Amino acid sequence: MASQEILREEPSRGSFINDPKVRGIFFQAVVIIVLVALVWWIVQNTIDNLTRLRIASGFGFLRGRAGFDISDSAIAYSSDSTYGRAIVVGFINTLIVAAAGIVTATFIGFILGIGRLSHNWLIRKICMVYVEVFRNIPPLLVIFFWYSGVLSVLPPPRESINLPFGSFLNQRGFYFLRPIWGEGSWLILVALLLGIAMAWFVARKAHQRQMATGQQFPVFWTSTALIIGLPLLAYALSGFPLSFDYPKQSTFNLTGGFQVKPEFLSLYLALSFYTAAFIAEIVRAGIMGVSKGQTEAAGALGLRPGSILRLVVIPQAMRIVIPPLTSQYLNLTKNSSLAIAIGYPDLTATTGTVLNQTGQAIECVLIMMVVYLALSLLTSAIMNVVNARMALVER
């Protein structure tokens, strides 16, 4: 450090213009002024042009009656709702498909990534073929593959495939029974939460005991018993308040029950399977980034292969995996806008419809851009927190 300071050249005292510090500030100021002026000019020009072309502008249109229906809606929505609500419905649909896709893609991706490093030749090759196929196909084609290739060749509603537990599969989607929660069912929820809390507590205690004494405790089975057993007990105690709504055949479709539409299914499956290929490679890179000595040392200590992976390799691999994983999550979220090709009402689709019904192109595109930006920044922020917790703590 000290040597560098000595080496640094003293600023010449001659001219003010030649002072690198002043010059730096000057050029930065110029760039900022030019940028602000450019943005200001574009905004002004846009406003001028819209006025001249007599196109209505502003966000007031969001309060207008939408007048169109949306097939999938997580919140109450009808054609009497506002345009603003239609956009929110689309946003929630984007969130649902992105969240579901991220979870599934991570799961499949980890299995594949580990599988690619398997000692078993067949597993290794199958995983390799999967990765090479899916990551070299554009995501839109994967979506079409699921939509046109898989789901639309299913039988029509009148010839639905019967599945166990009163569920059906046909080209209109997957139908299964919907639970109807009767009186006193809040007790079940409380029991479930209690079970989870207790399982967490048990796991913590068991870990402490193992650290202190080396004795192990069957955490998995205890937790399972707590999380499943307690709600079951509550269910019996509150007098079996649960009933089911079964899907039934009607004139056109199956009615009742819970329907997962093929548009959602194909988008969800396509995004999961597509992104999983990339995640698999990231996981493989992460695992290979952990030095071989770690595995050998753990093996020398007598750990079994499963434990080596879980306790030694994966925690270290995660440090390498998480930053690129964040990019994949962002990609998945943004790829969900391809939903428009198969008619899943995500943010892009509903906002696009609003755009066309109202003609408010600039406002609608702006809303979409801001929402996707916010969503991506939020995902990054969450992943940064996870990353910070996983990062190597240097002493």
Partner 1 sequence: MKHIAIGILGAAAFGLMASAASAATLDDVKAKGFIQCGVSTGLAGFSAPDDKGDWQGIDADFCRAVAAAVFGDGTKVKFTPLSAKERFTALQSGEIDILSRNTTWTINRDTALGLNFIGVTYFDGQGFMINAKKLPGVNSALQLSGAAVCVQSGTTTELNLADYFKSNKMEYNPVVFEKLEEVNAAYDAGRCDVYTTDQSGLYGIRLTLGSPADHVVLPEIISKEPLGPAVRQGDDQWYHIVKWTYFALLQAEELGITKANIDEMKASDNPEIKRVLGEEADTKIGTDLGVSNDWVVNIVKAVGNYGEMFERNVGSGSPLKIARGINALWTKGGLQYAPPIR
**What are the tokens at 355?**
């755009």
On the 0-12 / 13-18 / 19+ scale of CB atoms within 10 A, 111 is middle
Distance of closest approach, residue 79 Cβ to partner 1, in angstroms:
4
DSSP 59: S
Distance of closest approach, residue 132 Cβ to partner 1, in angstroms:
26
Q: Using an 8 Å Cβ cutoff, are 244 and 166 in contact?
A: yes
Using CB under 8 A, pick the residue from 11, 20, 24, 67 that binds partner 1.
67
Decide: is 395 part of the binding site for partner 1 (CB under 8 A): no
Site for partner 1 in 29-48 (CB under 8 A): 42-43, 45-46, 48
**What are the tokens at 4?**
């560098």
CA 323 from chain centre, in angstroms, equals 15
Closer residue to partner 1, CB minimum distance, 295 or 357 = 357
Decide: is 79 part of the binding site for partner 1 (CB under 8 A): yes
Determine the interface stretch with partner 1 among 25-33, 61-69, 93-101, 323-331 (rule: CB under 8 A): 61-69
Decide: is 54 part of the binding site for partner 1 (CB under 8 A): yes
Decide: is 368 part of the binding site for partner 1 (CB under 8 A): yes
- 3-class SS at 243? strand
Decide: is 55 part of the binding site for partner 1 (CB under 8 A): yes
Residue 16's closest CA among 7, 28, 6, 25?
Answer: 25
Distance of closest approach, residue 71 Cβ to partner 1, in angstroms:
5
Q: For the window 244-283, what string marks contact with partner 1 as x by the rule CB under 8 A?
A: ------xxxx-x------xx--------------------
Closer residue to partner 1, CB minimum distance, 197 or 369 = 369
Site for partner 1 in 92-151 (CB under 8 A): 148
Determine the interface stretch with partner 1 among 124-132, 174-182, 315-323, 335-343 (rule: CB under 8 A): 335-343
Closer residue to partner 1, CB minimum distance, 241 or 343 = 343
Instruction: Supply φ then ψ for residue 371, to 5 degrees.
Output: -65, -45
Decide: is 69 part of the binding site for partner 1 (CB under 8 A): yes
Instruction: Supply φ then ψ for residue 88, to 5 degrees.
Output: -65, -40
Q: How many CB atoms lie within 10 A of CB 379?
A: 18
Decide: is 338 part of the binding site for partner 1 (CB under 8 A): yes
- 3-class SS at 39? helix
Determine the interface stretch with partner 1 among 9-17, 49-57, 84-92, 282-290 (rule: CB under 8 A): 49-57
Q: Using an 8 Å Cβ cutoff, are 320 and 392 in contact?
A: no
**What are the tokens at 200?**
């967490």
Closer residue to partner 1, CB minimum distance, 217 or 246 = 246
- The footprint of partner 1 on this chain (CB under 8 A) covers a number of residues equal to 54
Q: Using an 8 Å Cβ cutoff, are 180 and 242 in contact?
A: yes
Site for partner 1 in 346-365 (CB under 8 A): 348-349, 352-353, 355-359, 361-362, 364-365
Using CB under 8 A, pick the residue from 19, 68, 185, 203 that binds partner 1.
68
Looking from the CA of 254 toward its CB, the CA atoms found within 13 Å total 30
Q: Please list, in sequence order, all residues whose beta carbon lies within 8 angstroms of the beta carbon of residue 30, skipping any fewer than 6 positions away.
A: none
Position 54, amino acid? R
CA 185 from chain centre, in angstroms, equals 30
| Euclidean distance between CA atoms 96 and 91, whole angstroms | 9
Site for partner 1 in 212-251 (CB under 8 A): 250-251
**What are the tokens at 110?**
């980890």
| Euclidean distance between CA atoms 235 and 232, whole angstroms | 5
Distance of closest approach, residue 38 Cβ to partner 1, in angstroms:
10
Q: Please list, in sequence order, all residues whose beta carbon lies within 8 angstroms of the beta carbon of residue 87, skipping any fewer than 6 positions away.
A: 62, 347, 350, 351, 354, 367
Distance of closest approach, residue 147 Cβ to partner 1, in angstroms:
9
Distance of closest approach, residue 340 Cβ to partner 1, in angstroms:
6
Provide the binding-site residues for partner 1, judged by CB under 8 A: 42-43, 45-46, 48-50, 52-56, 61, 67-71, 78-79, 148, 152, 156, 171-172, 250-253, 255, 262-263, 337-338, 340-343, 345, 348-349, 352-353, 355-359, 361-362, 364-366, 368
